[in-house]
Structure 1
Amino acid sequence: METQWSKGKIMRAAAVVLVAVMFGFGLLANGIWRNYRDAVLDRQKEQMLLTAESVSRTLEVSVQRSAADLDRFCTLTEAAYEDPEMEPVSGELIRSYIDEYDNFVTGVIVQAPGGTVKMNTQGVEVARVLDEDMVNDSVELAQTLGTDGRIYLLLREQTNRGDTISLVIDADSYYQSLISDIQLGENGYIMVKNSQGAVLMHPVKEQLGYNAVGDRKEMYHVEDLSSLENMLQAQYEGKTGVQVYDSYWWQDPNLPKVTKISAYTPANIGGDFLIISAVMDYDDVYMPVLQGFQSIIGVMVLMFAAIAVVIGVCARLVLQRQEASEEIAYLRDLNDILQKMKRSEETIAHQQRLQIMGTMTGGIAHEFNNLLTPIMGYADILMMELPEGSEEYDNVSEIYDAAEKAKEIIQQLSTLSRRNMETAFKELSVRTVLTRAVKMVRSVCPVNVQVEEQFGEELNILGNRTQINQVILNICVNAIHAIGDREGTICIREGSVSSGELAARHQLAETPRAWKRFAQVDIEDNGCGMTKEVLDQIFDPFFTTKKNGKGTGLGLSLVEQIVNSHKGYIFAESQVGKGSVFHLYFPVLEEQEAENGRTPGMETAESGRGLDGAPASGELSPHSILIVHRNAKVLRLLEKNFAKVGFAVTSCMDFNEALEALASGTFDIMAAEEYVDGAGAVDFFMSVKGLYKDMVRVVIVDRVSREVLEAKQREIIDGYTESPVSVPGILGAARR
């Protein structure tokens, strides 16, 4: 079976390895693809930026050359004014320059000082001036939109006589001659804007003169141009760079949305600049690279798919062979399990029925006892008041006898859920117990282990000496094993801590309010220590770190049970390589602060009502009793009955009231219901035993439980009586 399972594990491991390899290859391919894509895009961006810079330099040179020509024209014009015979020559020279020398300077405009046009070779009329700035000290560049919708760059200079000569550069002619033939991908282009964002040169004529953002929104009815605006902000600042942004193909009537790459640089013209922007479709670069990689990935996927199919077929054959061999063993085990389940189902069902019956009978017994208590109590009162032998007395006696028989039946039902325990608790001196325990530990310690003790104040607890010795010995034996063959020390310390400090130190939700202080016993060693995982399991039954069957795993589990049975706490701390420390806490038995000098006498006078409830002719000597019960009717009944036999009765409905009553007076007897509002009478009596040593302590129970028997044998309580509660029952328990 192990061999077959190991084959299955190998197959699964092979599949995992294949998946891991595929995943790793995918990551590697993705990394290569990203690096290659980025490298291609970077090269393309560099080329686009070089193109934009080349156009920028050409435009700068063209404007500077035209400005120099304009200077010469102005010089000739000044000479013509001085020699009238030269003026025709100046006009002829201008027309010759336009026709032959420059193919994008398409005209000249000469204006008189008043603005009268003396010459306009092309007939250009300006509709709107987009921007103006000085090229040099004498030449001004005006960017204008003509009435014919074309963009004209006017280089203007004023002569000494006040005439203004303007060279007209047709932006569209310049664009078609020097820029439009530059190819950038399938749809790319180069555009020129001024520093305010107005379009001066663009393949789409309708956009000339419009702002790159604001006018486009109105023209094309688009709203989201935030990506374009972010890029234009850098251009308006005169920066050089390359940026990817979202925009539209303005030359396409359908206006498709597209991601573009723009390489931009300024063309410096005097104190201002024009923006040269080379624009390209991002997909023109990205898609060819992506398609190539997709083809490669497709081939790799097919290859790995074929490998996976082969591995899958092999794994299937191995699994089929394994399943065939396991099926027989599985069916055999299944048959055995079914037989065991069939046998155990009846046992489990029977145990569940018994458990349900035990739970139900406990509740039924409690309710019936509450009903029988007033019946028997008031019948007892009537019998005390009626003359014995009368018909009324006999009738009430019949009621009392019937209630007694019902009580016996309830007690028989209650035995279904009883448990017993035999362990005696006594008042112990912590120092005495530890001194003897240290001697025991030293007797089992090897020579390499030293035992140290540090004792504090004298403290008394209520406990079992043998069990506490067992707790200390078990922990110290574990410490000896943890130290091993090297030199080590076990330190046993005694101290005390308040209940509040205990709760804060170990983050307890709450501590029993009945105890103000706890005796603290710390057992510390410098052994090998424990990991957190081991520390979390040390109190689990059958958990052990010892090898070769040397440990049962029950030692610390038993230690925890013993400490809990003493109403105490146990905690452990450990660090690997430094050692461990166990903190033990036991409730301190507080001593009575002042002797009250009273010992309750339960004896009756020669005449009086006996414990069996029969009336007598005398009265009891005076006593006081404190009764705690959650049923107000039961309290009223007991108050009446105890008052009739001469007791001073104080009744309380919870243990807080009982504490106040004990603080304000002394009592011979205290009888308390076993549980009142979640608080236990045994715990309460254990907490006050040292303060009220002469007070007889009686617990009223529905059924005798293990805890009650344990408390009786440990002398935490003096007696118990079963419900339905009565005066004879409480007095009988007190006398016993």
Structure 2
Amino acid sequence: MNRIRRIMKKGKTEVFALCLSILLSCAMIFVGFRFYQHYWQQLITTEESQLQTMAEIIGNNLDTYLNQQLHEINLYYDASERSAESTNFAEVLEDSIPFFLEQNENLYNWISLTAPDGRVRRYAPGKMPATEEKESSFSQKTAQQAQITGKAISSETGWYELYIQKDIRGKDGIYRLKLAMNLETLYQKIVAPVKIGQHGYSSVKDQNFYIIMHNAKDQIGLEARTDRTRLYPTLDYSSMDAWLKKQGEEDRGAALVDTYDWSDPAHPPVRRLVAFQVFYLQGERWIVNSTLPVEELSLPLDSMMRTLMCIIVLYILLLILIMVFVLRTRFQAEAQQKEIAYLKEINHGMETVARQNDEIRHYQRVQSLGMMASHIAHEFNNYLTPVMIYAELLENEEALSDENKEMVHEMLTSVDKASNLSKDLLAFSRQDTGVRLEPLNFTKEVQRAIMIVRQLTPAAITLTTEILEQPLYVLGRKGMAEHILLNLSKNAFQAMEASERKELHITLCAVSDEKLRLEIRDTGCGIRPDALKKIFEPFYTTKGSRQGTGLGLSVVQNIVNSIGGTIRVESELQSGTCFIVEIPLIQEGEGAQGEEQRTRLQRVSRIALVAQAETQKQWRSAAAKTKRTLDFYGHPAALIDRIQKNPDAYELVITEYALPGMNGIELCEIIRRINPKIRLLLVAEQSDADYEWYLNNGIVDRFMLKSEFHTEFSELLKE
């Protein structure tokens, strides 16, 4: 029994929902119909106003243009009149007419000149002047300004010509100019460019309702009512009669008119929205019509309303069900998507952390190797010094036999090679040892280094340079350019020992505003493809253990890498090798510490902050009112994934030292490798000597104690 009641109750609910939906649908249909009526009336009113404005603009433009042409004729030929006393006026006048026609291209069909003796010459564009019959009725009068004397349909063009007359006083009497203006050109220039929808147009009638300009050429010259009745007797003109009467009695107006498509030979009926404006041209009344088919207005609206009615019915029936289903599904999906996206970011970030940790461990192993090599080389050099001194003393001993001197010389040669190995080991171990980077004029550094290279260049080798004179500033260490060039030049000298053409070319230029390029190109034997992959590895050499240590290129690479640069090699066997070094540029004066660092930090707008939960609370309170973009991260992996996807996402990263999964130094090293341009600020509880080392080597840009950071961070964000 209870089950039956529940079913009935459920059925009543469904019936109620159905009735409510039907009522809502009817209400929406009624509202839609009323909306349609209101919108249609509003659309007609708006379009009438726009058409009225267009007709007024066209009328004003025609009036202005024609008066401007009359004024131009007066100015042009009044100037000719002033020269009548000093020259042959008739020749001057005749010569000026072709130029006037050329300047007013296609505007005038012809110009006739009547001399005081009645002789008439006609000028037309592109034709020779023609002499016409004398005007017997021509009488001498005073000079007059240009004025419109009438209009007629041209037998050549089928369009109206507007006749303008200008009387000019010459030395021997009055000359009369008659200009035939082509109203087709005037229509195309003034009326036709005013576009009215897709099928709308404008036309012009005179005060007698003769059509002067029209988009349908066969309508030109017809009287709007009488001639059309004669040509098309079967058409209904009742609506047009009322419209023409309105145009005869008023100077402006708009209405819906039942007319015909005069551009279609079948003349189908069409209802048009028409507006007119009257303007007066030297006393004559001209009427400008602007018209647009009503169908062009109503079709989109009717289609929209039909579609809207269908949508309303379906919308009411399905609205509640769809909204509940979609919203619930969407909220669930969004929650899942956010969770999945965050987990993906963490996963990608951890993968990146693992790869970067491998690189860091490799770097630390190389660093340890360098420290060990430094110690060995130093001790080795101490042991070699007395051996070298005593060997030199023995070699200079006169009592020593030649055979023994030869053995001592061999000993000195071996000691010298061992000393060179010791120096290379020291150079390898001392690279990137924490010497503070400073702004350097790299151009001067290279020029000084080239002077040394030139002194060491063998006579058989031709050294050429192409050094940019403009100062190029980098953040580096003094002497690094000399170290780079000497190492690479020494390799080039050895590579060209067996070459017929021995040329070494050094180039320094600016690739862009952001980096410079240093090229060392030789014509040596080249490098094998398999060796190209290994030449920058420590202790790898192609010269044999007796000729080289394999540390030179490794030293050069690490010097370049330590200042944010890159080095690569291009080589072709038996043709030569080119080492290309690219180093980031700075502006002159950049690289200073202290206040300038603070100024640079003030300019950043996109900041990422990486900290644990408790620290984040403090930093969020300090950044509550800032206008900068601040993103907080609790795990460094999420930030690494974001920067990998978009390296320019942030201008500044602020991180505390203690982080989950890695420390702040390791995070800074990873970010520096992805995008060296990001500013990195490390915050820690207490200072440490290692922090200074990372600061000097550009791993971080600034170090601050936590106790100082909160206050300065708050002030920084307020500025």
Asked if these proteins are the same fold (TM beyond 0.5), I'd say: no
TM-score bin (small chain):
0.3 to 0.5
TM-score normalised by structure 2 residue count = 0.36
Q: Quick check: which has more Rg, 1 or 2? A: 1
